[in-house]
Amino acid sequence: MNAHQSLAVGRPIESREAISPAAAEPDPMVRFEDISKVYPAYRGKPGVNALQGIDFAIPRGSITGVIGRSGAGKSSLVRLINGLEKPTTGRVIVDGRDISALAGHELRLAQRSIGMIFQHFNLLSSRTAAANIALPLEIAGWPKAEIRGRVAELLALVGIADKHDRYPSELSGGQKQRVGIARALATRPSVLLSDEATSALDPQTTRAILDLLANINRELGVTIVLITHEMSVVRQLAKEVVVLDSGRVVEKGHVADIFTHPKHPITQSFLAEVIGDSLPVSLASRLVQEPLASGHAVIRVQVRGAGAGNTLVARLARELGLDVSLLSARIDEIGGQHVGSLTLGIPGGESAATRALAFLSQHQISAERLGYVA
Ligand SMILES: Nc1ncnc2c1ncn2[C@@H]1O[C@H](COP(=O)(O)OP(=O)(O)OP(=O)(O)O)[C@@H](O)[C@H]1O
């Protein structure tokens, strides 16, 4: 166990039903059954408890984000799905088979139904785009003529039919990742694992690649497992999310639920990076943390559903009998739902803020007090 792991405080797992405990999902694509993964001590380096008590299922056809900070155990988890690592305890069932029990030829056959894409694309520089995509088909022993047809189909699917004869050095980052995606899909996998696949791309290219993955999920029904340290990636693509911290699942569920009611501090810190966090500068510079008896309390509220934010300000003003002001607002579409982040100014100091927070909590609306302005 390393220093980071030994300091970790065990927290209860927050379950929100969408990603069920392994046993509760009748026929999932991936089922982690009470997994632990320990990397043993090696050449004077201490052993590492990389994963502990992992027990959940990934539904067929879903897009599931697995998010965590560096060292949280994301890559270990994804390598268990394609059998590159074996769990220390527990089983990993993929498409009905215990992949953790397979070895040799059987494992290689099972791995053909699990595609993977990588942050740095992992293309062979000596092969053209078409030849990179053909590689897994050659390994699987496909006849040459069939490979040609399949490669042309895949190049068209990922939108680079004209790059057939280009070498990786002649392609942009986004085009290289399209080749990576085509190669991963070549053997018609049922699962696509994406390990930080957009981390090396600029925001615009990231959006295009995430759109492509969404289309692939929709049109081919491929289950996608998305490893990332960026909540913006989860927000754009995933419907379900699993939050990992120090090798444990600390929160999981529908993305829109997690965005509106984050429970674990690590989830809250991920959200703070993406949800309209910025206050108007003139306001932020005057914000103080000490409660004020008068002046405005500044409260941030997360709301869900089209139009939910519109009525909230009026309802709160009615309830408090005060002029509630809207200081900033942002609406996103997350996990197929509208999620809004509103920053409200509430006159009447600490006592009004306390009443406002009680009202919001009574109505299961997630809110936090950011501070006060005189
Ligand atoms: N092959 C290995 N041998 C020993 N320790 C390992 C090995 N692979 C990972 N670890 C350790 O296991 C823990 C989890 O690592 P993992 O790579 O799964 O996390 P991660 O969330 O993917 O991190 P990152 O985002 O930095 O890639 C870390 O403490 C890491 O140092």
Domains of the chain: 3-113+189-272 (3.40.50.300), 275-373 (3.30.70.260)
Distance (Å, rounded) from C-alpha 97 to C-alpha 190?
13
- What are residue 226's DSSP bridge partners? 65, 194
Residue of 37, 39, 199 to test ligand 1 pocket, by largest number of atoms within 8 Å of CB? 39
Pocket of ligand 1 contains residue 50 by CB under 6 Å: yes
Tell me the pairing of strands 223-228 and 63-67.
parallel
Sequence-ordered list of residues with C-beta below 8 angstroms from that of 146, at least 6 positions apart, any chain = 137
- Which phi and psi angles does 187 have, rounded to 5°? -90, 20
In the prediction, which pLDDT does 278 show?
62
Q: Which residues pair with 241 in a beta bridge?
A: 65, 253
CB 274 within 8 A of CB 330: no
* 73 ligand 1 Cβ < 6 A: yes
Task: Tell which one of 37, 48, 70, 85 to mutate to probe ligand 1, the residue whose CB is within 8 A of the most ligand atoms.
Answer: 48
Q: Which protein residue has the closest C-alpha to ligand 1 atom 14?
A: 73
Stretches in the chain below the pLDDT threshold 70: 1-25, 275-278, 306-308
Beta carbon of 72 within 6 Å of any ligand 1 atom? yes
Alpha-carbon gap, residue 139 to 355, rounded angstroms: 66
Q: Which atom of ligand 1 is nearest to the CA of 229?
A: 25
Give CA separation, 34 vs 31, 264, 268, in Å. Answer: 10, 21, 26
Q: How many CB atoms lie within 10 A of CB 262?
A: 22
On whether the CB atoms of residues 59 and 25 are closer than 8 A, the answer is yes
227/72 Cα distance (integer angstroms): 11
Cα-to-centroid distance, 37 and ligand 1 (Å): 10
pLDDT at 134: 98
The residue type found at 374 is A
Atom of ligand 1 nearest to the CA of 85: 1
Question: Using an 8 Å Cβ cutoff, are 209 and 118 in contact?
Answer: no
Among positive and negative, which fits the CA dihedral 298, 302, 307, 311?
A: negative
Tell me the one-letter amino acid at 59.
P
pLDDT at 13: 39
User: Does any ligand 1 atom lie closer than 6 A to the CB of residue 76?
Assistant: yes
Which residues, other chains included, contact 168 with Cβ-Cβ below 8 Å and sequence gap of 6+?
A: 121, 123, 124, 125, 129, 132, 176, 179
Distance CA 133, CA 127 (A): 9
Q: Is 118 in the pocket of ligand 1 (CB under 6 A)?
A: no
Strand order in 89-94's β-sheet?
48-58, 30-39, 89-94, 97-98
* Helix, coil or strand: residue 38: strand
Contacts of 324 (CB under 8 A, 6+ apart): 313, 316, 317, 344, 345, 346, 356
Per-residue pLDDT at 269: 83
Distance 50 CA to ligand 1 centre (A): 7
| Cα–Cα distance measured from residue 142 to residue 150, given in angstroms and rounded to the nearest whole number | 10
Q: Atom 2 of ligand 1 has which residue's CA nearest to it?
A: 39
CA–centroid distance, residue 306 to ligand 1 (Å):
40
The preferred substitution site among 5, 35, 45, 75 for testing ligand 1, maximizing ligand atoms within 8 Å of CB, is: 75
Alpha-carbon distance of 20 to 60, in angstroms, equals 12
Which helix (H) or strand (E) is 184 found in, with range? Answer: helix 173-185
How many other C-beta atoms lie within 10 A of the C-beta of residue 83? 22
Separation of CA 70 and ligand 1 centre (Å): 8
